[in-house]
């Protein structure tokens, strides 16, 4: 099936004409021009599928408008304008103008996107032959959010059936994070697990490790951070256009590892832009003397797009109110580039990325042995897509990637000045996916496809935890949406297979499971809606849960796997109330998840004499997650926004009866944004309660309050935008500890820090 997709794509591309001119509509010209669908290669097969979704002719009109970049009002050229419901896009011209032709009368969401600028969303109703609107893109953190991760197609976060958070490049650049965990810490429902600053990884609604899937452009990164807390996710967040987080089970499109949620880094190298555009970000900190930068460019000519990016940063040991945390330094560098071809009815691109990192594991002040890790990754990616096919299948996309990941762990004995290699881990990973979108017929629209990966994992050395294991996974899935005037429904399913083939005297395992969901969205008032979802999820046990048998310093334990584990089966439901208007944005959710055969670490009470780590077995029981989260943004006067958010989750093993480990405490954030022309000032107070509900061998943490203050000034010119930001973090130099840190006793969080950053977008 996957081979047929690629052959069909190439055939359509070679037969297609030149790319659509900038500013012209990309609507389909003939409903029967091309039909491409697995199992329906003949014209009669296409006609049968079209007949199932037949609809009467509709009246159409044109939709045109302009896009301006605030606060200057300069026309936004090369902005991508998308009609979400029709999955049709155009680019703005030099005057910021755009036009769609042959748009059926109806209500639509119009999304304006410009690289590294927060998106703008506007609801429009096409009721006449020629309709004109105006859109504004604003360089400010308070903005409408857009997601492609939840369904595979662009839509406003407020219209998503799942709870989604999107963090734009502007906010990522201002935070200058050393890890993806730091980039997302304190986002709604998201906390940071860490084994030091460089290894931070997001925790979603209390779910961690193999239950949270980190992707880039919908594909796996090839790292092993889900297996061990001292590993790093090999992704440069400063090179991304935005980070999207789908909270709750996202197993339908992405797999069983997403039983807790998905974090997806989005870049825009699959979007054609005419001429030269790019970005430059530079930054520096005072606490750990962190400094670095990132830059990238895109150049489009004819139907070819050339792109590239690279970055590097360096951070020394950081300081807390108690002093310097030894061996907490980090170094990183990455570079990538590629080429894209964009004929009228499709596109294909190739991208190569190299990433390398060196970082230390924090130690106690009197330590003489220092552990540090060196990793590198080569990544090769081919992506492509089809559009305007005109038949039952209106378009689709595919992607194939290969990741070669290597991580070395060293130990430096400072008293003897001797460095030894403790372990070496390699992970070679093939990923593939193919999605097809069927044409909107009446009230029905949707996506179906296949995905999978193969993995060859090997570790050697004194601390090698598991045997060499080959893993393969394959899945088929579908996601359908039905929209009525007063209510909308979304439902879908996924069947997935996961197989493990370890070397040596270990049991081979194969798991096959089903995940499904059903959601309802009910409009309540203008801008307000109620959404509820039920989801059944399936997760195959992870490699380390099945086969580990040795010291696992990243988890501070000597773990012994259980090759007889069963697959996890979960059921969950969440309820959301949302409101979105020019003066008020509100989202509140409550959720409940019940997971059977939940895999957890059961402490035996015995310590391994060689590593001095506690010995644990992997056991299974029943778990329960109950939580709530809410965020609000309110414009008090035209220049002032107030915002706040709270989240809380309680997670327990109901069999046996005890709290689960490393669950974030109740948290709240209070903030404001005051804007005067190009100046923005944003104070922020972060609050957290103590966490005394702890698992075996886990220590409680005290509550805290942290004060931050950011200010930025934006200069927008015809061809460039300059953003200068200065930020103060933990201004009161408060001593506090992250409950989700594995080494919180010896490594409190960073003390007072001043940060300066500059971003250029051209």
518 shares its domain with 392:
yes
Residue 106 within any structural domain of the chain: yes
107 shares its domain with 255:
no
Whose CA is closest to 348, among 383, 302, 397?
Answer: 383
Residue 155 within any structural domain of the chain: no
Whose CA is closest to 589, among 188, 254, 166, 213?
Answer: 188
550 shares its domain with 603:
yes
Residue 329 within any structural domain of the chain: yes
What tens digit of pLDDT does each residue of 342-380 get? 998 899 999 999 999 999 999 998 888 899 999 999 999
d(CA 536, CA 517): 6
> Can you say whether the dihedral through the CA atoms of 262, 547, 656, 737 is positive or negative?
negative
Report pLDDT for 32: 31
Residue 566 within any structural domain of the chain: yes
Report the b/e string of 465-499 with b at 16+ CB within 10 A: bbbbbbbbbbbebbbebebeeeebebbbbbebbbb
Report pLDDT for 461: 83
Residue 146 within any structural domain of the chain: no
543 shares its domain with 462:
yes
| Residues of the chain predicted below pLDDT 50 | 1-56
Report pLDDT for 52: 40
Can you list the positions of beta strands (E) in 163-316? 163-168, 190-193, 201-204, 212-216, 219-220, 242-247, 261-266, 275-285, 291-301, 304-315
577 shares its domain with 648:
yes
CATH code of the domain containing 264? 2.40.170.20
* Boundary-marking domain end, from 140, 175, 208: 140
What tens digit of pLDDT does each residue of 145-202 get? 788 888 888 888 878 898 999 888 888 887 778 899 999 998 999 999 999 999 999 9
CATH code of the domain containing 23? 2.60.40.1120
Report pLDDT for 371: 92
Number of domains, the chain: 2
261 shares its domain with 120:
no
Report pLDDT for 4: 45
d(CA 761, CA 298): 12
Report pLDDT for 718: 82
Residue 147 within any structural domain of the chain: no
Residue 617 within any structural domain of the chain: yes
Residue 154 within any structural domain of the chain: no
511 shares its domain with 396:
yes
673 shares its domain with 569:
yes
Tell me the CB-side half-sphere exposure of residue 639, using CA atoms within 13 A.
8
408 shares its domain with 487:
yes
637 shares its domain with 494:
yes
* Boundary-marking domain end, from 94, 109, 140: 140
Domain of residue 107: give its range: 2-140
d(CA 708, CA 750): 13
117 shares its domain with 248:
no
Report pLDDT for 626: 98
Report pLDDT for 45: 37
756 shares its domain with 657:
yes
């Amino acid at each position: 099936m996957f081979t047929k997709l690629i052959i069909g794509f190439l055939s359509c591309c070679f037969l297609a004409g030149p790319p659509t001119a900038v500013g012209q509509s990309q609507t389909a010209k003939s409903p029967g021009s091309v039909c491409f669908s697995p199992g329906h290669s003949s014209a009669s097969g296409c006609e049968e599928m079209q007949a199932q979704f037949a609809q009467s002719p509709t009246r159409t009109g044109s939709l045109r408008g302009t896009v301006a970049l605030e606060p200057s009002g300069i026309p936004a050229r090369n902005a991508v304008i998308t009609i979400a419901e029709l999955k049709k896009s155009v680019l703005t011209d030099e005057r910021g103008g755009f036009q769609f032709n042959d748009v059926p009368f109806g209500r639509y969401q119009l999304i304006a996107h410009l690289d590294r600028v927060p998106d703008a969303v506007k609801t429009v109703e096409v009721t006449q032959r020629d309709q004109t609107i105006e859109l504004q893109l604003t360089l400010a953190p308070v903005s409408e959010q857009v997601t492609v991760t939840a369904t595979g197609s662009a839509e406003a976060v407020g219209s998503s059936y799942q709870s989604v958070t999107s963090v734009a490049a502007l906010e990522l650049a201002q935070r200058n994070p050393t890890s993806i965990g730091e980039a997302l810490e304190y986002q709604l429902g998201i906390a940071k697990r860490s084994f030091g600053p460089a290894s931070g990884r997001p925790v979603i609604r209390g779910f961690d490790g193999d239950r949270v899937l980190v992707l880039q452009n919908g594909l796996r990164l090839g790292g092993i951070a889900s297996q061990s807390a001292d590993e790093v996710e090999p992704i440069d967040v400063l090179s991304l256009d935005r980070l999207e987080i789908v909270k709750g089970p996202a197993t339908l499109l992405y797999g069983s590892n997403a039983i807790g949620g998905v974090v997806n880094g989005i870049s825009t190298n699959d979007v054609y832009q005419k001429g030269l555009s790019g970005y430059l970000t530079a930054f520096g900190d005072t606490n750990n003397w962190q400094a670095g930068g990132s830059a990238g460019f895109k150049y489009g000519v004819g139907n070819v797009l050339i792109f590239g990016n690279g970055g590097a940063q360096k951070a020394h040991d950081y300081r807390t109110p108690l002093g310097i945390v030894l061996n907490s330094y980090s170094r990183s560098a990455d570079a990538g580039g590629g080429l894209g071809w964009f004929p009228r009815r499709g596109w294909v691109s190739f991208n190569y990325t190299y990433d390398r990192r060196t970082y230390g594991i924090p130690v106690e002040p009197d330590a003489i042995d220092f552990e540090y890790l060196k990793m590198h990754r080569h990544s090769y990616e081919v992506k492509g897509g089809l559009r305007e096919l005109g038949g039952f299948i209106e378009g689709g996309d595919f992607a194939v990637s290969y990741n070669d990941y290597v991580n070395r762990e060293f130990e430096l004995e400072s008293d003897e000045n001797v460095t030894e290699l403790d372990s070496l881990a390699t992970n070679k990973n093939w990923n593939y996916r193919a999605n097809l979108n069927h044409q909107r017929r009446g009230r029905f629209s949707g996506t179906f496809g296949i995905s999978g990966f193969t993995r060859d994992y090997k570790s050697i050395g004194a601390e090698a935890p598991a045997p060499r294991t080959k893993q393969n996974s394959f899945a088929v899935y579908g996601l359908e949406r039905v929209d009525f005037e007063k209510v909308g429904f979304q439902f879908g399913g996924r069947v997935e297979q996961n197989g493990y083939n370890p070397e040596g005297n270990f049991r081979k395992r194969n798991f096959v499971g089903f995940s499904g969901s059903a959601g309802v969205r009910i409009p309540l008032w203008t801008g307000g809606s109620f959404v509820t979802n039920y989801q059944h999820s399936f997760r195959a046990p992870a490699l380390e849960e099945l086969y580990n048998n040795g010291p696992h310093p990243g988890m501070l334990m000597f773990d012994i796997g259980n090759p007889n584990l069963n697959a996890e089966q979960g059921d969950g439901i969440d309820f959301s109330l949302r409101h979105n208007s020019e003066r008020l944005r509100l989202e509140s959710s409550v959720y409940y998840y019940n997971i059977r055969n939940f895999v957890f670490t059961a402490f035996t009470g015995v310590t391994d004499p060689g590593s001095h780590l506690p010995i644990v077995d992997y056991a299974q029981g029943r778990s329960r997650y109950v939580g709530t989260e809410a965020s609000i943004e309110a414009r008090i006067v035209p220049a002032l926004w107030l915002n706040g958010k709270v989240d809380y989750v309680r997670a327990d093993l109901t069999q046996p009866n005890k709290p689960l480990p490393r669950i974030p405490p109740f948290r709240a954030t209070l903030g404001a944004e005051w804007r005067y022309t190009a100046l923005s000032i944003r104070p922020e107070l972060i609050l957290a309660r103590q966490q005394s509900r702890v698992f075996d061998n886990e220590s409680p943490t005290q509550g805290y309050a942290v004060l931050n203050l950011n200010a930025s000034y934006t200069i927008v010119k015809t061809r460039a935008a300059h953003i200068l930001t200065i930020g103060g973090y933990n201004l009161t130099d408060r001593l506090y500890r992250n409950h989700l840190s594995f080494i919180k006793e010896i490594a409190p969080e960073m003390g007072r820090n001043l940060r300066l950053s500059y971003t250029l977008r051209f």
